[in-house]
């Protein structure tokens, strides 16, 4: 828990947004309100702009003189109300809510308010923005900042039926994931979106990202104006990707790269990092690298159970010689809020999971109760051809399956690894 480690170091970690941390149901009453919202805030963080139930945000909107509709989420409908969608796509018109009252603006206001109150004292801020996130719609002028015709074409099969043949889980998603989970007025399946509608969605998504850019600019300007810019470590990342029509899918689902590739931008103000400013690192990083990066920069110890590694050596221009050459990720697809694949696929709940090991050349997807997938990324970067049944790839696939097993054995629960009771008392070995 990053917040707990920061508190051990004397910091009071503040949070704007939410962390989708559901309480332990074994210790929490079933009617606890935290089970009915986006998720509670991770223990240890001090919320200064909580968004888990959105009440504070909608209250702020109302306090600015904006009349909320009876269904408050309808501020994310296109101007004109439900059904007022142009033929080019559900997001081609601006949202009802103006940009100066968007949730992105609200997050920034909460963050700046906190920073102003902490001026002259150390601080740590988890500034969590909601966008770009469903419901997909942007306020003016961001809704029209990018042209749909300039967007890259979706990476997908000629039609949804052809896409669905690759794997039973993919087929399930193609047939069941609804646009209602992504648009306030969505009606059809996500797989029914035309190329034109996908292009408009992508243009809207880019507009939402530009709104984030503009609001972060306000935060960075404040840090510069108050002479804190050169004393502040900035880590910009996110929690998941988005299919955006690739493989006829919407959302963060399945096993394709689009759902898992995320940004990782580190701005280290130290002089030791001057030589790498503005550079792009192509080697694999993972979300788990965030915590050790922050703790090392602050001079705090990194707990043994941290599976990631600090990224500061990359900032200093001295990347570790033994850095990872592959990435691992897992996905739990049981009974999601917009789908129930276990009954349709005939897979027990406890086996509704998949794990992936992937490097620059190959990708192996292992299911607990479905046939595996194996992709030759050099010859099939779009991951359309499953080579798992191809004898020419059998040995290679076995190698990657063994890699996955090695990784799982090496990174099992390790919180108490190295602790041993001895006649002299508790012995703790270093890593």
Contact 198, 136 (CB under 8 A): no
Report d(CA 115, CA 386) in Å as an integer: 51
Element (H, E) at 422: strand 419-422
pLDDT band at 338 (very low <50, low <70, confident <90, very high): low
If you ran DSSP here, which 8-state letter would residue 313 be given?
H
**Whole-Å CA distances, 255 to 207, 246, 328:** 26, 12, 11
128 pLDDT exceeds 80? yes
Contact 210, 142 (CB under 8 A): yes
Is the pLDDT higher at 241 or at 414? Answer: 241
Tens of pLDDT, residues 10-66: 999 999 998 888 888 889 898 888 888 767 889 999 999 988 889 999 999 999 999
If you ran DSSP here, which 8-state letter would residue 249 be given?
-
Single out the residue of 141, 139, 140 nearest to residue 103, CA to CA: 139
Which residues have a Cβ under 8 Å from the Cβ of 286 and sit 6 or more positions away?
308, 324, 327, 328
pLDDT, the chain, mean: 93
Concatenate the DSSP letters of all residues of 71-132 into one string. SGGGGGSBTT-TT--BTTBTTSSPBSS-GGGSHHHHHHHHHHHHHHHTTTS---EEE----S
pLDDT at 427: 83
pLDDT at 265: 98
- Domain 325-431 part of CATH 3.20.20.70: no
In the block, residue with structure tokens 């079933």:
30
87 pLDDT exceeds 70? no
Which residues share a beta bridge with 172? Answer: none
402 pLDDT exceeds 60? yes
Mean pLDDT of 360-371: 97
Report d(CA 39, CA 282) in Å as an integer: 33
pLDDT over 90 for what percent of the chain? 78
Contact 172, 344 (CB under 8 A): yes
pLDDT band at 428 (very low <50, low <70, confident <90, very high): confident
Mean pLDDT of 197-218: 98
414 pLDDT exceeds 80? no
Concatenate the DSSP letters of all residues of 199-228 into one string. HHHHHHHHHHHHHHHHHHHHHHHHHHHTT-
Helix, strand or coil for residue 327?
Answer: strand
Contact 8, 30 (CB under 8 A): no
Contact 17, 126 (CB under 8 A): yes
231 pLDDT exceeds 80? yes
If one counts every other C-beta atom within 10 angstroms of the C-beta of residue 8, the result is 13
Tokens of 252: 């963060």
Tokens of 182: 């992504």
Mean pLDDT of 339-351: 84
**Whole-Å CA distances, 238 to 135, 326, 388:** 17, 20, 32
422 pLDDT exceeds 90? no
pLDDT at 18: 86
Report d(CA 251, CA 202) in Å as an integer: 13
404 pLDDT exceeds 80? yes
Is the pLDDT higher at 344 or at 199? Answer: 199
Single out the residue of 323, 396, 410 nearest to residue 363, CA to CA: 396
Tokens of 276: 């790498």
CATH topology of domain 2-322: Alkaline Phosphatase, subunit A (3.40.720)
213 pLDDT exceeds 90? yes
pLDDT over 70 for what percent of the chain? 96
pLDDT at 339: 57
Q: Quote the Cα angle for 387-189-386, to 5°.
A: 0
pLDDT band at 401 (very low <50, low <70, confident <90, very high): very high
pLDDT at 340: 77
Residues carrying CATH 3.30.1120.10, the chain: 325-431
Tokens of 214: 């503009």
79-83, 354-358, 399-403: segment of lowest average pLDDT: 79-83
105 pLDDT exceeds 80? yes
Residues carrying CATH 3.40.720.10, the chain: 2-322
* Rg value, the chain, Cα: 23
pLDDT at 74: 95
Mean pLDDT of 400-416: 88
Mean pLDDT of 82-91: 64
108 pLDDT exceeds 90? yes
Torsion angle (degrees, nearest 10) of CA 101, 103, 105, 111: 130
pLDDT at 285: 97
pLDDT at 34: 83
pLDDT at 23: 85
Mean pLDDT of 100-113: 98
């Amino acid at each position: 828990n990053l917040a707990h480690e920061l508190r051990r170091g004397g910091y009071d970690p503040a949070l704007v947004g939410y962390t989708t941390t559901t309480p332990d149901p074994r210790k929490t009453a079933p009617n606890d309100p935290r089970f009915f919202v986006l998720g509670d805030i991770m223990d240890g963080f001090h919320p200064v702009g909580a968004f888990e139930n959105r009440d504070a945000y909608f209250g702020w909107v109302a306090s600015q003189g904006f009349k909320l509709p009876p269904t408050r989420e309808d501020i994310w409908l296109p101007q004109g109300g439900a059904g007022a969608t142009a033929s080019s796509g559900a997001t081609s018109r601006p949202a009802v809510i103006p940009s100066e009252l968007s949730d992105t603006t609200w997050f920034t206001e909460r963050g700046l308010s906190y920073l102003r109150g902490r001026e002259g004292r150390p601080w740590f801020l988890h500034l969590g923005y909601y966008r770009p996130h469903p419901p997909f719609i942007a306020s003016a002028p961001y809704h029209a900042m990018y042209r749909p015709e300039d967007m890259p074409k979706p990476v997908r099969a000629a039609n949804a039926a052809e896409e669905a043949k690759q794997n039973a889980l993919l087929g399930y998603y193609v047939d069941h994931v609804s646009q209602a989970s992504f648009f306030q007025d969505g009606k059809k399946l996500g797989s029914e979106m035309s190329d034109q509608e996908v292009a408009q969605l992508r243009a809207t998504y880019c507009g939402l990202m530009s709104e984030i850019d503009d609001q972060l600019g306000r935060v960075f300007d404040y840090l510069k104006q108050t002479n804190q810019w050169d004393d502040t470590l900035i880590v910009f990342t996110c929690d998941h990707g988005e299919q955006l029509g690739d493989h006829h899918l919407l959302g963060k689902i399945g096993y394709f790269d689009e759902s898992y590739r995320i940004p990782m931008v580190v701005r280290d103000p130290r002089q030791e990092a001057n030589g790498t400013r503005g550079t792009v690192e192509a080697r694999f990083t993972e979300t788990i690298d965030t915590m050790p990066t922050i703790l090392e920069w602050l001079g705090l110890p990194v707990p043994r159970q941290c599976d990631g590694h600090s990224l500061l050596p990359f900032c200093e221009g001295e990347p570790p010689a033994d850095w990872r050459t592959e990435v691992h990720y897992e996905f739990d697809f049981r009974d999601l809020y917009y789908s129930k694949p276990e009954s349709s696929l005939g897979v027990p709940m406890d086996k509704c999971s998949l794990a992936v090991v992937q490097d620059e050349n190959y990708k192996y997807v292992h299911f607990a109760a479905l046939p595996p997938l194996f992709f030759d990324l050099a010859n099939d970067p779009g991951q359309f051809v499953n080579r798992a049944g191809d004898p020419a790839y059998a040995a290679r696939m076995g190698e990657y399956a063994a890699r996955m097993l090695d990784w799982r054995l090496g990174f099992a629960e390790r919180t108490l690894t190295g602790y041993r009771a001895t006649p002299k008392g508790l012995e703790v070995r270093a890593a």
